[in-house]
């Protein structure tokens, strides 16, 4: 499931350092000539693809990214130091456009690809360069050239790392609002979620990752029944499914009924979906008799990766987020 992740930032390359006006002052030399050094070049702002980056989330908090200015020239023909480049690491597939003209500047499509988005200004020349036969002691130099300031828009078509599946009212929207900054509509009636919601989850370690909450699936979804069918083809591209179950609806006589129903619909739609790794979440453990029903489900399921939580209160969600990050190898 693709969503657009974007950030708008201003980049500023370093200013070039000014040249130096200096005259030699050496013992036994009556008339020293000019010896002012050149200013250093300003640093570039460079975009670089980092395959480990997944989102533009951290850049949303930055307004200005600036490279270092070049150093000033000095006497004795000492040149100013070159300004340090500023490297901005971006995920693969990021498109960069000029914010003012909407012109695409570069599409980063290759691992470790680099692109100079703003080149640093050249350093000014020292007075040594301006000595002539008629003016052997020039008392002027060049100022450095200013760096480039550019407002750019970064846009990444983000593929959700995980997809939330389950019956209507299982608590998918409540969960995504608990573990991310997403604020979907939440109500106590079926099919509250009419369109997918994307939440960016920030684990204790590693990069943020994207979780998609899709409309609830019901029996016959693979044939087009309900709202979730139009999104089933998209969650084929997610890495992991978060299968959320309302523990209060677990039937002691058939504990896996809702779990099997959803998996049947996934399998009928696509064999690829049926084989996808799942993390099973038993939601609403804050309700009466939930502990007993968790045990009943666990005994029937006999599998791993079961996380009892209360999306409403937040209980168990920290352990769940850690497990999600670990499953995505965000170490």
269 has a pLDDT exceeding 90: no
CATH fold match for the domains 2-157 and 160-327: no
CB 177 within 8 A of CB 317: no
170 vs 19, residue with greater confidence: 19
- CATH assignment of 2-157, among 2.70.210.12, 2.60.120.260, 3.30.2450.30, 2.70.98.20: 2.70.210.12
Q: What is the pLDDT of residue 56?
A: 85
215 vs 96, residue with greater confidence: 96
Helix locations, the chain, DSSP H: 172-179, 229-235, 257-269, 271-274, 290-301, 317-327
Fold topology of 160-327: Rossmann fold (3.40.50)
DSSP state of 248: G
pLDDT band at 158 (very low <50, low <70, confident <90, very high): low
At residue 83, the 3 state secondary structure works out as coil
Highest-scoring range by mean pLDDT, 43-47, 181-185, 233-237: 43-47
237 has a pLDDT exceeding 80: no
DSSP state of 221: G
Structure tokens at 256: 């896996």
Average the pLDDT over 28-32 and give the result. 63
What is the rounded CA–CA span in Å between residue 92 and residue 53?
Answer: 8
Where do the structural domains in the chain lie, given as residue ranges? 2-157, 160-327
Angle at 105 between CA 104 and CA 109, to 5 degrees: 90
CA distances from 278 to 196, 303, 306 (A): 19, 11, 9
Lowest mean pLDDT: which of 39-43, 241-245, 250-254, 327-331?
327-331
pLDDT band at 1 (very low <50, low <70, confident <90, very high): very low
Enumerate the β-bridge partners of residue 197.
213
What is the rounded CA–CA span in Å between residue 45 and residue 86?
Answer: 5
What is the rounded CA–CA span in Å between residue 269 and residue 80?
Answer: 65
Q: To the nearest whole number, what is the mean pLDDT of the chain?
A: 85
187 has a pLDDT exceeding 50: no
Q: What is the pLDDT of residue 172?
A: 87
Q: What is the pLDDT of residue 193?
A: 42
- Full-model pTM: 0.60
């Amino acid at each position: 499931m693709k969503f657009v992740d974007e950030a708008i930032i201003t980049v500023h390359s370093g200013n070039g350092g000014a040249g130096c006006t200096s005259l030699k002052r050496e013992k036994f030399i009556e008339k020293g000539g000019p010896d002012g050094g050149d200013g250093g070049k300003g640093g570039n702002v460079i975009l670089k693809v980092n395959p480990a980056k997944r989102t533009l989330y951290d850049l949303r908090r930055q307004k200005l990214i600036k490279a270092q200015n070049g150093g000033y020239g000095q006497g004795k023909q000492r040149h100013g130091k070159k300004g340090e480049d500023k490297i901005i690491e971006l995920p693969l597939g990021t498109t960069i456009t000029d914010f003012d003209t909407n012109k695409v500047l570069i599409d980063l499509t290759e691992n470790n690809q680099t692109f100079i988005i703003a080149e640093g200004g050249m350093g000014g020349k020292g007075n040594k360069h301006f000595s002539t036969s008629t003016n052997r002691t020039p008392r002027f130099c060049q100022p450095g050239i200013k760096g480039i300031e550019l407002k750019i828009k970064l846009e990444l078509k983000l593929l959700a790392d995980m997809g939330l599946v389950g019956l209507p009212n299982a608590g998918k929207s409540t969960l995504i609002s608990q573990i991310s900054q997403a604020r979907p509509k939440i109500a106590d009636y079926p099919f509250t979620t009419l369109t997918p919601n994307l939440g960016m989850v920030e684990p204790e370690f590693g990069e943020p990752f994207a979780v998609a909450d899709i409309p609830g699936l019901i029996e016959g979804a693979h044939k087009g029944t309900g709202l979730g069918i139009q999104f089933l083809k998209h969650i084929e591209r997610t890495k992991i499914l978060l299968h959320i179950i309302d523990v209060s609806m677990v039937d002691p006589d058939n504990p896996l009924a809702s779990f099997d129903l959803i998996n049947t619909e996934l399998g009928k739609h696509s064999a690829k979906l049926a084989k996808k790794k799942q993390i099973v979440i038993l939601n609403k453990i804050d309700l009466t008799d939930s502990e007993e029903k968790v045990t009943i489900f666990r005994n029937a399921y006999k599998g791993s990766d079961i996380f009892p939580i209360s999306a409403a209160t937040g209980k168990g969600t920290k352990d769940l987020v850690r497990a999600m990050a670990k499953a995505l190898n965000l170490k």
